[in-house]
Chains A and B, each alone.
Chain A
Amino acid sequence: MNARHRLLTPALSVLGIAALLFPASAQAHGIVGRADLPIPVWLFSWAAAIVLVVSFVALSALWTRPQLQSERRVKLFRVPALLARLVSLIGVGLFALVLYSGFAGTEVWSANFSVTFIYVIFWVGMPIVSVLLGDVFAVLSPWRSCARAIRWAGRRLTPRLFAQPPLRYRPQAGQWPAVAALIGFAWLELVYVERDSPSKLAALSLGYFLVMLAGMLLFGVEEWTERADGFGAYFSLLSRMSALCADENGVVYARRTLSWLTKLPVRPGTIALVCAVIGTTTFDGLSNDVVWRKLEPHLQSGFTDLGLHQTPAIELAYSTGLLLCVALILGVYALGIRGVRSVSRRYSTTELSHSFAHTLVPIGFAYVLAHYFSLLIWQGQAIGYLASDPLGNGSNLFGTSSYQIDYAIISYAAIWYVQVAALVVGHVGGLTLAHDRSLSIYRSAQEAVRSQYWMLTVMVAFTSFGLWLLSAVGT
């Protein structure tokens, strides 16, 4: 080892320690982020980067053989078919309630069951449930349950007609329809001016239900769920992180956490799907940030100058921001992959981007958890009174309509720490998956380690960016 190399590590360590010891306390109080933090946000970012570097070193030194590439699972128990059907019925019932409350209930979003249920319980709660318990949405999905029921009834009444799906799903289409659906939902949540209107939400939900039902009957239930149902594909993707899984017979297995992600089939659009998860969440944070608030009026006036009215101009400006965020995430990943390729020419860029696509999934979940945690904790409580009064007309079905949101249930600082922990753990998970994959695809240990320097850079970039976004919200 030469003198320059010998000096570099201690020098970096000294810099890091100095930064931690002298956190510029005078400036620390100048940051009035969401939590009035005891130390500046950038120190959190640096500390997170140090955690990632330490994880990288530990993985390189101690994790010398691929551990996650093979699946080992242990049978736990069998879920009774009756229980699975009951859960499916609950899913259909909840969907019917969303439609009913949306169409028949008050137009005040905070008093209507449908808005909170869709944006908080479904959109934020379901990813967490998927990571904890596996692909629960596959059983709960109302469109899948209805399509299966129709197919079951059809096979009994006209077996010839329902023996095979009438159309064949084109493999080239891959998961692009799911990407479109996911970005469409994010657009609805973040861009659409009337996103809080319960009747509009109910109408759109019904439309989505009908499209999904038609697609499943025409192309096959499982084929369509995996490739074209935005929510089905998204929750199924996250459920691969889970330590639990179930087969088609309802047998539940325990497996190594993250191990199923290594078997992720990368179809056309899969990488875009993962980047859409990260990118849309990124835009949700960015749209509350000062930078966007300064930039957005310029974009908006640009569209107004083209002859558009104010509302479409606002929506177009926000749509541009949303798509740019997804493109930014795709760009960072593509740069990282190009860097990995610079280490060895053994694999093409496409092969490498497919090989490491699954490493983005824990990052996507980390972003979702970090970003929406406070929403789930606070606004999620509203479901307590909305369940008793779903239409907002003063009914009290379960006696909980007087329940109120307790904002003191968790402090701002605690939320911040949960967010930081989620981001760091998610990125360490991504790094672990990338390291494990590199060991399995590269013959030389040097190539494997060098390739991981690039993945470390990608993870550090995503962590720093995520922390900056979180700190900027509400500044």
Chain B
Amino acid sequence: MRWRLRRGALALLSLAAVTIAAFALTWIDPTALCALPALVLPMLLVLRRYPGERILAVLSEARRRRRQRPCSSVVPSARLEVGLPRGGLLLARSLAVRPPPSAWLAAS
């Protein structure tokens, strides 16, 4: 039944499109071409054709995935360890005109 309905709708739409195309091609009334987009689209849909659906699904999915990621895509680098001087070293550092060499420099 549904298929019959669909076939009927398709036949009607096709007839309308052909009439309009005939009107337009014979230049009886080229303005009739205005209606063509409004007839072609439902023809495709009645046939259960959704042109470009897959591309749209891919684009939409890509967009959704991009949204789900954290706001910043830059991976935070390891924090630089800064050894703050404490106790005696702090006193020495504050009293020294020139601060003592860094630990790694001293080691080398």
Contacts and interface: CB of A to CB of B under 8 A. Distances in A.
Interface of A: 1, 5, 8-9, 12, 24, 27, 30-31, 40-42, 45-46, 49, 57, 60-62, 64-65, 339, 445-446, 449-450, 453-454, 456-457, 460-461, 464-465, 467-468, 471-472
Contacts of A8: 51-52
B63 A464 contact: no
Contact of A453 (B30, B38, B50, B61): B50
B35 interface: yes
B57 interface: yes
Contact of B56 (A40, A61, A465): A61
Q: Which of B32, B52, B53, B61 has the most CB of A within 10 A?
A: B52
Interface in B28-68: 30-38, 41-42, 45, 50-57, 59-61, 63-64, 67
Given A1-B54, A5-B54, A339 B61 contact: no
B31 A40 contact: yes
A457 B38 contact: yes
B30 A61 contact: no
A465 B38 CA distance: 9
A464 B38 contact: yes
Contacts of A471: 31, 34
B24 interface: yes
8 contacts: A12-B51, A30-B27, A41-B31, A60-B59, A61-B63, A457-B38, A457-B42, A468-B31
B81 to A, nearest CB: 41
Contacts of A31: 30-31
A42 B57 contact: no
Interface of B: 24, 27, 30-38, 41-42, 45, 50-57, 59-61, 63-64, 67
Given A42-B33, A464-B37, A465-B38, A339 B45 contact: yes
A30 B90 CA distance: 94
A457 B41 contact: yes
A5 B57 CA distance: 14
Given A64-B63, A453-B45, A9 B34 contact: no
Given A64-B60, A445-B60, A471-B31, A456 B41 contact: yes
Secondary structure type dominating chain A contacts? helix
Contacts of A464: 34-35, 37-38
Nearest to A454: B45
A64 B67 contact: yes
A372 B32 CA distance: 23
Contacts of A30: 27, 30
A30 B57 CA distance: 44
A472 B33 CA distance: 13
A408 to B, nearest CB: 28
Contacts of A457: 38, 41-42, 45
A64 B64 CA distance: 6
Q: Which of A27, A30, A49 has the most CB of B within 10 A?
A: A49
A460 B51 contact: no
A1 B60 CA distance: 16
Contacts of B24: 42
A317 to B, nearest CB: 23
Given A5-B51, A61-B56, A446-B57, A27 B30 contact: yes
Contacts of A449: 50, 53, 56-57, 60
Nearest to B6: A342
Contacts of B27: 27, 30
B57 A445 contact: yes
A45 B34 contact: yes
A349 B42 CA distance: 18
A472 B18 CA distance: 22
Contacts of B42: 339, 457
A12 B55 CA distance: 15
Contact of B37 (A49, A60, A446, A472): A49
B71 to A, nearest CB: 16
Contacts of A339: 42, 45
A440 B5 CA distance: 30
B56 A57 contact: yes
A460 B41 contact: yes
Contact of B38 (A9, A446, A460): A460
Q: Rank and list the top 5 A-B pairs by shortest CB-CB distance, nearest first.
A: A42-B33, A61-B59, A49-B37, A45-B34, A461-B38
Given A49-B37, A453-B45, A61 B60 contact: yes
Given A9-B51, A45-B34, A464-B37, 7 more contacts: A1-B54, A31-B31, A45-B37, A62-B63, A460-B41, A464-B38, A465-B34
Given A5-B51, A453-B50, A468 B60 contact: no
Contacts of B50: 449-450, 453
Contacts of A27: 27, 30
A451 B11 CA distance: 22
Given A8-B51, A12-B51, A449-B56, A45 B33 contact: yes
